Structure 1
Amino acid sequence: MATPRTDPLTAEVVELIGTVVARYHTEYEQAAAKHSLTGAQARVLGLLTLEPMPMRRVAQQLKCEPSNITGIVDRLEAHGLVERRPDPNDRRVKLAAPTEEGAETARKLRESLDFAREPLAELSEEERTVLRDLLRRMLGERTS
């Protein structure tokens, strides 16, 4: 069976998406470094600011091995940015949660990511809504 050819427009869109992702990762790594964090540490800290969670769930969210998350949380804990606390629903389970300093660091990190925010600001609200809905559709999510 022959491999289907990609039309030029699809190829260009794929290339543009790749460029956006690469630039985002580069800026994210640079912003994390300004806070003496690796990109992985910054991603874990950012995720934990949404809600405290067991390390196994952090690993599932970030699609990596739980043992990797344990090491990252250990380093974040050593920097005073994350703490482990008992899960109120199951005291055998430990939740990783940001400290006040960790939540503040994550907020500053988010605010320093101008790469995506600045170009998006040039789009109208309607254009941003269309872009959001298209991206959600690409990810198999329902649009609102």
Structure 2
Amino acid sequence: MTEAPRTKAPVAVDTDRLMEQLSMSWGVYLGDFTLAAASENLTASQAKALNALRRGPAAMRALAETMTCDASNITGIIDRLEKRELVRREADASDRRVKNVILTAEGERVADAIRARMHSTQNGLDGLSAEDREALSLLLERVFGCRPTC
């Protein structure tokens, strides 16, 4: 008589453990991201702004909210990115008082270069099967409500 293959019983994982794993994962990702940004002579905040703008143009206030930073901080970040011609500001067509920030072609190239240099993150994700990638994407969407747009 042949024995049926044993399936591994699910292990109960508490919220504290998951939060610790998320914290550790975020630390690896952020370290990877910060090093990749530095390779392009950018701070993590500047690179984060470029990443946010990959989704499309954004008003300065909206960008500050997305990046969870003060409006005065976003002004300095965008000033430095604009000086390097990675972004440009344009007056909003419907409200000239509002300035929209737009990623330039060079800004898009730099954002792509940063992502390409995130070797620890890339290697970890590349090790996942297609099914695992789909499951991870769905779980991240359920937990954080985020849907990738790029």
Q: TM-score, normalised by structure 2?
A: 0.81
Q: Which has the larger radius of gyration?
A: 2
Structure 1 range deviating more: 33-42 or 92-101: 92-101
Query: Which residue number corresponds to residue 96 of structure 1?
Result: 101
Shift of 1:10: 3.6
- Tell me, in whole angstroms, the C-alpha distance in 1 between the residues paired with 2:55 and 2:125: 23
Query: Which residue number corresponds to residue 20 of structure 1?
Result: 25
Shift of 1:57: 0.4
Q: 1:36 aligns with which of 38, 41, 44?
A: 41
Q: Structure 1 stretches (4+) deviating beyond 6 angstroms?
A: none
SS at match of 1:92: coil
SS at match of 1:50: coil
- Tell me, in whole angstroms, the C-alpha distance in 1 between the residues paired with 2:85 and 2:125: 34
- Tell me, in whole angstroms, the C-alpha distance in 1 between the residues paired with 2:34 and 2:22: 18
Query: Which residue number corresponds to residue 66 of structure 1?
Result: 71
Q: 2:134 aligns with which of 118, 122, 129?
A: 129
SS at match of 2:98: strand
Shift of 1:31: 0.6
Q: What is the root-mean-square deviation of aligned Cα atoms in Å? A: 2.0
In 2 relative to 1, CA 139–90 (structure 1 residues): closer, same or farther, beyond 3 Å?
A: same
Shift of 1:89: 2.9
Shift of 1:49: 2.5
Shift of 1:108: 1.1
Which runs of 5 or more residues in structure 1 are unaligned?
1-6
Higher RCO structure, 1 or 2 (CA under 8 Å, sep 6+): 2
Query: Which residue number corresponds to residue 11 of structure 1?
Result: 16
- Higher helix content, 1 or 2: 1
Matched, 1:85 2:90: yes
Which amino acid letter does the alignment assign opposite residue 24 of structure 1?
Y
Query: Which residue number corresponds to residue 47 of structure 1?
Result: 52
Q: Is the Cα–Cα contact under 8 Å of residues 32 and 121 in structure 2 kept in the other structure?
A: no
- Tell me, in whole angstroms, the C-alpha distance in 2 between the residues paired with 1:79 and 1:101: 9
- Tell me, in whole angstroms, the C-alpha distance in 2 between the residues paired with 1:141 and 1:72: 24
Which amino acid letter does the alignment assign opposite residue 42 of structure 2?
L
Question: Aligned pair count?
Answer: 136
